[in-house]
A and B are shown apart, each in its own frame.
Chain A
């Protein structure tokens, strides 16, 4: 069979399609689109691929799940549930786990994929945050990503509640409590959500609609928008020689990234399938069918909601007040509404906040090294510290049993740590960043230490420093050290107070917080000065390697005076 014949039908079909859609241009454009190479750019792909796995496994589960709270008697292979009165949702979850071929595997794949989806979104967000990839023109895409994260939480929450086991019912009960804590309208809202007194008979069908229709449709649409923005903005790249805000250095989509991304999809699918096949997750038959009375020890939400659980566990319970017959449950409102509100608001507005305090209107396509923006990096680490402390507080009972500690002591430690540790983490991170920047400056000005000690004729010892190569230097000197904002005075030349001064003043204060401590990058003038002045510096950075090498390793340079060196180049 000749090659032309083999290509015949394919080429024919492609031509047919192209003549009718003009798709060749698009394919050509995409195939040649350049993407920069870095492992951290694959973190977002993990989220995308686990979402694909979620869709596929989710469709399978939908075939067997019955979203109803009607009661039936369970009969099946699980002895501990036999003959018990359970909801149809629970019974169908049991049935699809034990009586549908491959059902349990699919359920476990679905759940692990959900956990991985959220974990990869968080890791991806951390990468974007710490490298400043959210700066202009990508602020909107950060918002899209942020909303995707919230939708991911919503998808996880609605799915977690569907099997109607004791654990998921406990989660719903907390939700009910949070809704009821909303002043004045809380009770009405709860009746609306649950279609009557908790738990009612409506919540599972409602959550089901949200879980399989509304939330995934929104996620799918926003994933499309998210990726469209990536194509429109082009991908960011890490700093390095030749990489600027006006170019993209990397490889074409076809064949390099098609192969890499395609392969990575199967790796992600493989890891999820491996976990689904070997590690049990959410064994609903352990918890039993939901009934509002029991709560078992170790009742916690999935990890991405654990911070909320921790926030509730840390809050002292005395802050519930009855005012004129109305209950104000600050003990629930603060931990379940105010705390996540603060955390999420910080995430959502951060790009705009930073744009405001830098007044930077330029486009940025080269990423920041985290050390070069110490306050941002510090804030990020502080934020993560608070999040992790809350998540640990949500696991305080397991920490108590596994490390033989008193749960009361743990709770108090976390209560204090929640306020102290993020500040400490911020401060320490900022100092480390500044230290690393100083180290970079030092390195650029003086070069690498070589460990070679040289003695001059006059008896002076110096250590020979090897200058940085161009790539090393580029990475260390190409960054902006923003200065605090300068604002116009309160009154103009005619002594009239101007509008907006107060706001400017606040921005200036914030800007000072961000940029008061900063390490300026080495300027060409400083570099030149370091190379040409001073007896040590000139030798340290420019002692020609060839010349020293000629003296054979550690031998002394006794026949050269420092002055001689100064004239050799």
Chain B
């Protein structure tokens, strides 16, 4: 296989991986439809990162949102949880009631030049039952 073929193969693999990068599939749910959490680092704001999340239900839910969000920092090959926010500690920030989807965001100040990611544990429920799921964001580098 010559260099040109190897290059084409690598580019194809890269494109395929990018195509699928926006979607992760989880098992079916009668309550949860889709969800994400993401970190947005802010330049020149002393390590500020915006933690944004969005949870969509299959219809109007009595309660829908985040049971918990963890902020993790990379340490070598491991991820260390730096902070955990529990939904029940601040329901007005983390849950919506009688809505089909809920979103919110808050600030987290990390250590500049370290890689961070967030993990969300989502919840949706109504009188018929409830379900939970989780999602891990892509990693970002905290900016000074």
Asked if A pairs with B, the answer is no
